[in-house]
Amino acid sequence: MKRVTFIIGMAAIALLFCTTNGNAQSRIVRRATPPTRGNNRVVIIERDRHIDVRDLETAPKIIGHETVRAFEVEDYDVNRISMAEMIFRTGGVMTAAQATAIAQAFDYDSNRLKFLKMTYPNCVDRHNYYFTLKTFDYSSNLNSLADYVYKMESENPEYRIYFRASNEYMKEILDVFREATYDSSRIKIGRMILYGGEFTAKQIAEMAKTFDYDSNRLKFLLSAYNHCIDGHNYLIAANTLEYSSNRKKLMDNIAR
């Protein structure tokens, strides 16, 4: 009797083992889920692993350090221009800092300007493009790029990147203003930087202080008001004007 019971028990264990082993086989279940961003997702389940399969966002093709270095070791500007054209035609993009580093490698200011104009639409952080202005030898080329960027942003809203200036950001901006030789360049730099940006009255006042002539400072402050996030404090900016007549012009214009 004990022998029969033992045999039955062993048979039950063997049956249980076979059943468990059969269930342990790899299984794939495809389950359609509601559309996400217009695409159907398929969830694949394999051996207790849940793999969510979906379309990946296409990441920007930002060039690497070795590519930047290739521009720096190149001997001729004409080849640097061709290198940039190849990168952009194959979908490559750059950061403003990378564009600045490459621009500094150019031998001639005219070629530097050509490169920076073709790079602007292919820059991933265009609100930082003012970095590149410091690479020019001649104010005329600086003015040309600033005008170009402003025109591109005005005619192509998708190029504009809205931002609010931090104090750290302002330190870099003020360096660009201070390094400019003439007020005419500062006017263009200001127009380029202000477009799409939001600044406090105090930050605008700091930019205004870099101007040499009160008339140019007034011109800048009149345009900057539309980009001020605390207009009720704009007297801080107005007080950077040396002549009371200019302060009155500014206040009267804003009060209209």
CA dist 3 and 20 (Å) reads: 26
3-state DSSP assignment of residue 242: coil
Contact between 131 and 69 under an 8 Å Cβ cutoff? The reply is: no
- The dihedral region occupied by 47, where left means phi > 0, alpha psi between -120 and 50, and beta the remainder, is left
Dist CA 198 CA 164 (whole Å): 5
Single-letter residue type at 40: N
Q: 196 exposed, middle or buried (CB, 10 Å; 0-12, 13-18, 19+)?
A: middle
Sheet with 42-46: list strands edge to edge: 28-32, 42-46, 49-53
CB 105 within 8 Å of CB 136? no
| Cα distances (Å, whole numbers) of residue 242 to 133, 167, 214, 232, 253 | 28, 25, 6, 21, 17
pLDDT at residue 182, rounded to an integer: 96
pLDDT of residue 11: 54
* pLDDT tens, residue by residue, 166-208: 888 899 999 999 999 999 999 999 999 988 788 999 999 999 9
Give the model's pLDDT for residue 34: 46
Nearest to 103 by CA among 72, 143, 66, 142: 72
pLDDT of 138 reads: 95
**Which pTM was predicted?**
0.71
Mean pLDDT in residue range 75-102: 97
Polymer length of the chain = 256
Has residue 29 got a pLDDT over 50?
no
Is the pLDDT at 124 greater than 60? The verdict is yes
Express each pLDDT in 133-176 by its tens digit: 999 999 999 999 999 999 998 888 777 777 788 888 899 999 99
57, 128, 68: which is closest to 92 by C-alpha? Answer: 68
Residue 26: pLDDT above 70?
Answer: no
Q: Is the pLDDT of residue 12 over 90?
A: no
Contact 204, 191 (CB under 8 A): no
CB 208 within 8 A of CB 178: no
**Placement of tokens 């900016």 in the chain:** 237
pLDDT at 9: 56
Q: What is the mean pLDDT of the chain?
A: 83
56 pLDDT tier (thresholds 50, 70, 90): very low
In tens, the pLDDT along 221-255 reads 999 999 999 999 999 999 999 999 999 999 999 99
C-alpha 207/C-alpha 171 separation (Å) is 10
